[in-house]
Amino acid sequence: MSSLLKAQTANAKGKGKRAANDEGEAGPPRKKNKQRVLLLSSRGITHRMRHLMGDLEALLPHIKKDSKLDSKNHLHLLPELADLHNCNNTLYFEARRHEDLYLWAAKTPNGPSVKMHVQNVHTMDELKMTGNCLKGSRGLLSFDPGFDDGEHWKLIKELFTHIFGVPPTARRAKPFIDHVLTFSIVDNKIWFRNFQIIEKDPLKPNGPPETSLVEIGPRFVLTPIRIFEGAFGGATVFSNPEFVTPAVVRSQFKRAQGEKYRAHLHNCNNTLYFEARRHEDLYLWAAKTPNGPSVKMHVQNVHTMDELKMTGNCLKGSRGLLSFDPGFDDGENWKLIKELFTHIFGVPPTARRAKPFIDHVLTFSIVDNKIWFRNFQIIEKDPLKPNGPPETSLIEIGPRFVLTPIKIFEGAFGGATVFSNPEFITPAAVRSQFKRAQGEKYRARKESEAERDARKEERRRDEDELAVRKVFA
């Protein structure tokens, strides 16, 4: 009886815990979710970026915030900082040029890690949504079904689950779930939203329960750039081929705006732009401004009118006919170039300086995927037979040149690539190959000369030895 009383007393004191000397089989140990996240940024962040970090710190009670990282080139220090703060996850905001924001999400210290570009940031204070949630409460995670389509999406989902999933044992977490964090995939980008869970309509407190969602904030969009095997580095597991850096986008936009301004300044809707490189290579841009498309071509075999000195001639300001090779109707890229050349080289009858005469023809021929340009005068009578019957003939005027299409862009002087010529080799690469071949040829000649000199020297030594033997014989 006394042993039974002692057992009951031990159970009451231990609150159901098993005694140390209990010989019964213990159940499997319960795995605890011990996720801690280190949050920090680089120097150069703006107020909007700082407020976004504050919103994330308020939403995730298991976050530990640290001061700014002094150098952007010392990312290898971040796993050590996470270890000092007893964190096994890291969110690092990297600011560039005071306008571009990147987010590193990593499992420390062994990885993996993902680098993402942050866009369309809207903080809680900026949105002023009607939703609200308890500070320190835990949130549900809702992932788009697209996260199960690819291996890299599965890895990002697992990483976000560890970082944004607040463990129930977090020190500052409250035992309530009143909001949901959603991650949606649209156009290969991750859209983040935060919603409050409302079980009853506040306008109908006595009505039946109706679960609804009200947005709280913040909002932002993440574009995955690369996934690394390690923490903030290592082998590349995934690379986004569609990602274009914001600096390149701004450069293309400024170039398009500049061309648009120049076209507007001259009231032109077509542009021919000659681009010279290394004082020997010439490129021609032909574009519809301001919206495109545009084509970039390499110009070769240029011969001007003064250089050719042809017998043909035409009236300055007269309009010319356009003659296109049948090959321009074979592919979509050739059709687009034909349409572009028709707009650029076709002189409208209402042009201010155009004369009402048609006395020459511009020909565009396709040979070896290159466009050969020629200009011919139209002669209706033989000048040697003025009284003879009319005989239409063509006499070349000039100039001559050959165009090799390189790329066709959707916009004016930039934008998405519609066509790319896989056979094009830059003149610099051609010259490099030629110089390399010349160098190999020179080395082969020098080696041949060295072998010939060695044979001559060996033959001379043999003759000297033979002469010495004859003397002492």
pLDDT(17) > 60: no
pLDDT(29) > 80: no
Ranges 2-11, 107-116, 280-289: which has the least confidence: 2-11
Q: Do domains 37-243 and 248-421 have the same CATH topology?
A: yes
**Of residues 344, 341, 348, the one with CA closest to residue 270:** 344
Q: Which of 226-240, 244-258, 456-470 has the highest mean pLDDT?
A: 226-240
C-alpha distances out from residue 425 to 13, 298, 366, Å: 84, 10, 18
Q: Which fold has domain 37-243?
A: Rossmann fold (3.40.50)
Per-residue pLDDT at 227:
96
Burial of residue 309, with CB atoms counted within 10 A of its CB: 0-12 exposed, 13-18 middle, 19 or more buried: exposed
User: What single-letter DSSP state applies at residue 75?
Assistant: G
pLDDT(399) > 90: yes
Three-class SS of residue 452?
helix
Q: 422-450: string of b/e by CB count within 10 Å (b at 16+)?
A: eeeeeeeeeeeeeeeeeeeeeeeeeeeee
Provide mean pLDDT across the span 113-140. Answer: 92
pLDDT: which is higher, 15 or 419: 419
**Of residues 200, 217, 197, the one with CA closest to residue 208:** 200
Which residue do the tokens 């082998």 mark?
235
Provide mean pLDDT across the span 315-322. Answer: 90
Of all helices (H) and strands (E), which one includes residue 38? Answer: strand 37-41
Distance CA 175, CA 67 (A): 29
DSSP string, 189-221: EEEEEEEEEESS-TT-TTS----EEEE---EEE
- pTM for this predicted structure: 0.54
Tens-digit pLDDT profile for residues 332-367? 999 999 999 999 999 998 888 888 889 999 999 999
Establish how many alpha carbons lie within 13 A of residue 90's alpha carbon, considering only the half-sphere containing its beta carbon: 33
Establish how many alpha carbons lie within 13 A of residue 232's alpha carbon, considering only the half-sphere containing its beta carbon: 22
C-alpha distances out from residue 472 to 380, 458, 460, 469, Å: 97, 21, 19, 5
Burial of residue 163, with CB atoms counted within 10 A of its CB: 0-12 exposed, 13-18 middle, 19 or more buried: buried
For residue 361 the two structure tokens come to: 């023809």
Is the peptide bond preceding residue 112 cis, with omega within 30 degrees of 0? yes
Distance CA 204, CA 201 (A): 5
Of all helices (H) and strands (E), which one includes residue 94? Answer: strand 89-96
Distance CA 103, CA 116 (A): 5
Per-residue pLDDT at 128:
87
**Of residues 9, 6, 10, the one with CA closest to residue 18:** 10
Q: 388-416: string of b/e by CB count within 10 Å (b at 16+)?
A: eeeeeebebbbbbbbbbbbebbebbbbbe
Arch. (CATH architecture) of 248-421: 3-Layer(aba) Sandwich (3.40)
Phi-psi region of 301 (alpha: psi -120 to 50; beta: other; left: phi over 0): left
91 touches 56 (CB < 8 A): yes
For residue 471 the two structure tokens come to: 């003397």
Per-residue pLDDT at 4:
42
Q: Show me where the domains of the chain are located.
A: 37-243, 248-421
Three-class SS of residue 282?
strand
Ranges 75-89, 251-265, 453-467: which has the least confidence: 251-265
Ranges 19-28, 78-87, 127-136, 185-194: which has the least confidence: 19-28
